Structure 1
Amino acid sequence: MINQLGNFLTLSTFGESHGEAYGGIITHFPAGIFIDFDAVQHQLNRRKPGQSSIVTQRKESDTIRFLSGIFEGKTTGMPIGFLIFNENQKSKDYNHLEDRYRPSHADFTYDAKFGLRDYRGGGRSSARETVNWVAAGALARQILPKEVEIYAYVSSVGNVVCDKSYSELSLNEIDHNDVRCPDSFSAEKMIEKIKSIKKSGDTIGGTITCVVKNLPIGLGEPVFGKLQAELARAMLNINACKGFEYGSGFAGTMMKGSEHNDVFKADFTTETNHSGGIQGGISNGMDIYFRVAFKPVATLMKSQNSVDKEGKASIVEGKGRHDPCVVPRAVPIVENLTAFVLADMYLINRLRRI
């Protein structure tokens, strides 16, 4: 089973939603970096459940414990091992799923692939796995030059869209509301939408926009390992992710080349940035921006028609604690996965110059 993120800087993880703990091992983390532990825990706190009325009410502290690779606050160059214990499992909420498959969930495919599955919260297929990714990304941020800034925010929930460009928004206000949209008018509408959907026992999807500022020129590989491909690979591994576009994305298909080309200025910046900060798979010094699409959560708080393990018609009842919309809590996941990918590409680029 492939269980690794990254090329040079790598993350391998373990854990199940209702097991004892999650955790991971990070390899090739540079030696001599003083770790800001508070910054790591801050990112985990942004992702953890139970933050507001519009997310799952599972209560977890998500406190990280480091086992290796850090001595007296500084990285040693050895593999960094970490643990995050589960504290609030309610496995009995899932007993009714032992022999039934939830529609559009991983239940059936896991059973078909492995011949068995952990039905308690989805086991390994649970989005709780992303706690590992946020921890690793929060560490990886500390490899990047300090001037690099990474912001992600909710840009739509269902048909409620924040249609302002990121350049028109105050990105420092992302965490000022429960839905993590820096436009207060759009945020109110999004929160109302999620509350309405939750009340009906249903779920809804949305999009997250991510912006990277002040990234060095030259990150990314010419053929395989293009920067946009590595970012897309990371994002498309997030539970419920359905799409990725960068720069002009699909809208660029409706433009002429003369409209789409980013014309250079004397300082090698460009008049427009339809390329999304990446040309030929390599960062060009302009802002990187991309958008990630998320489907509605598959688990509903109402009954659904399905089948059991014998293929017989069955009813799946809505039980347990689940997000009515994943995007508010997915913001730190997108940010920190982005940081991990960029740190990996940054280290690879440094190796080229040794």
Structure 2
Amino acid sequence: MSTFGQFLRVTTYGESHCPSVGCIVDNFPPGIPVSEEILQPQISRRRPGQSSITTPRNEADIVSIQSGVEGGVTLGTPIAMVVKNQDFRPGDYKGSTMKQYPRPSHADFTYLEKYGVRASSGGGRSSARETIGRVAAGALCEHYLKLAHGIEIVAWVSSVGSIHHISPTAEYPCTSHNPKFLQLLSGVTREDVDKTVVRCPDPEVAAQMEKSIADFRDRQDSIGGTVTCVIRNVPTGLGEPVFSKMEAALAQGMLSIPATKGFEIGSGFAGTEIPGSAHNDMFIRNPAPVSEPKNGFAKPKLSTLTNNSGGIQGGITNGAPIYFRVAFKPPATIGLPQQTVTFAGESDGLLEAKGRHDPCVVPRAVPIVESMAAICIMDALMTQGGRRAAALTL
């Protein structure tokens, strides 16, 4: 399916080498001030050609709102947004070897098996170019979340290969206990993240990551990494048990991003290695003053001393920051010769892939993760808001 969400519905369209890509956002609230200028910064953070460690494909990626907005205000009707592909080269994929052989670990083979038709770019919708529609929709949702609830979403590169921003230590085997990590969760900004081309907020570690990516690029190879994301000022009560828990919705959203291979929330896998007495988040009185309800949601009377749960308990948000980590594999398309066989399975061959590709996707994946987080939170927020509104009218 190319549509995501239960109440807020986001549909994306387009392939890597077609004339345009974009999205339609349905059920977005009316009366919200919106313009292309508000949405463009996040799309520009995703665009290719940003630095020497990203794909050299040169795209301006200028978003254009086609419907659902009039006089700078949303109408409540479907909002269509389009980004033109300018530097698309389907010919890069039509050479003799690229046409005959599936790229190892790419979607060329599986897309052909599913649809029986090959797109010029082989993997069709599996290309990261599809994510432009997600980022446009996510920027729109994030704008609303900030206006209506003061919600902040910040993601950053937390590892490239074996280089980690904050690694487990003997004292803090579980990162969710590490004061350095907790300080990052509470205060990191996008300005901090964007100070380095690799989008890691630690300049020293970022320099190591950048050098590693450049080394793989120069060898015509690739490398993977992880992106960590925090969502602050989230209202309580979001998430739909039992099959649409908040963490389940986030996991679905994140694992639908191309090249993702793993998702963990809160203490994650490291949390399995500590006892419950160290993992349980003890309740305390909320140190922040309980405010009047804002757009139907008020600050809770309780808070927690720690946040190993990652802001979600029983699939429902508890008001603490939500944080999670997403794993991205090394990009499948590399310049090194790779053994493969023809699509028909008739003969062996050696594939040296052509085209322009990222040696590591995580620097450009940061705004994509933020955007999918915004879509997930807004969908849950509108669902819970509808439930509360209906209850008040009974």
TM-score, normalisation: structure 2: 0.87
- Residue by residue, what CA displacement relative to the aligned partner does 1:146-191 show, whole Å, maximum 9, x if unpaired? 5211000000000010015152474341001100000111100000
Cα separation, 1, equivalents of 2:349 and 2:123: 19
Cα separation, 2, equivalents of 1:146 and 1:202: 43
Question: Which residue is equivalent to 2:12?
Answer: 13
- Indicate conservation of the 8 Å contact 1:91/1:121, yes or no: no
- Residue by residue, what CA displacement relative to the aligned partner does 1:44-100 show, whole Å, maximum 9, x if unpaired? 000000000000010111111111110101000111112111000122211131221
Cα separation, 2, equivalents of 1:286 and 1:23: 33
Question: Which residue is equivalent to 1:119?
Answer: 120
Cα separation, 2, equivalents of 1:36 and 1:114: 37
Please show how residues 1-354 of structure 1 align to structure 2 within 5 Å. Answer: 2-96=1-95, 97-120=98-121, 122-144=123-145, 145-163=148-166, 164-165=180-181, 167-168=183-184, 170-171=188-189, 172-267=191-286, 268-311=302-345, 312-354=347-389
- Indicate conservation of the 8 Å contact 1:212/1:289, yes or no: yes
- Indicate conservation of the 8 Å contact 1:219/1:345, yes or no: yes
Cα separation, 1, equivalents of 2:218 and 2:343: 31
- Report how far residue 38 of structure 1 moved: 1.7
- Report how far residue 283 of structure 1 moved: 0.7
Count of residue pairs the alignment pairs up: 353
Cα separation, 2, equivalents of 1:266 and 1:16: 51
Between stretches 268-277 and 310-319, larger displacement belongs to: 310-319
Amino acid across the alignment from 2:82:
L
Between stretches 168-177 and 73-82, larger displacement belongs to: 168-177
Cα separation, 2, equivalents of 1:121 and 1:18: 10
Cα separation, 2, equivalents of 1:324 and 1:39: 30
Gaps of 5+ in 2: 167-179, 287-301, 390-394
Cα separation, 2, equivalents of 1:49 and 1:121: 19
Cα separation, 2, equivalents of 1:170 and 1:141: 17
TM-score, normalisation: structure 1: 0.97
Gaps of 5+ in 1: none
Cα separation, 1, equivalents of 2:325 and 2:38: 25
Amino acid across the alignment from 1:85:
K
C-alpha spacing 1:93/1:15, structure 2 compared with 1 (3 Å): same
- Residue by residue, what CA displacement relative to the aligned partner does 1:308-341 show, whole Å, maximum 9, x if unpaired? 1221201111311000000000000000110111
Cα separation, 2, equivalents of 1:81 and 1:204: 35
| C-alpha RMSD over aligned residues | 1.2
1:142 aligned counterpart, secondary structure: helix
Cα separation, 1, equivalents of 2:188 and 2:252: 28
Larger Rg: 1 or 2? 2
- Indicate conservation of the 8 Å contact 1:216/1:283, yes or no: yes
Amino acid across the alignment from 1:132:
G
Cα separation, 2, equivalents of 1:126 and 1:336: 17
Cα separation, 2, equivalents of 1:166 and 1:133: 29
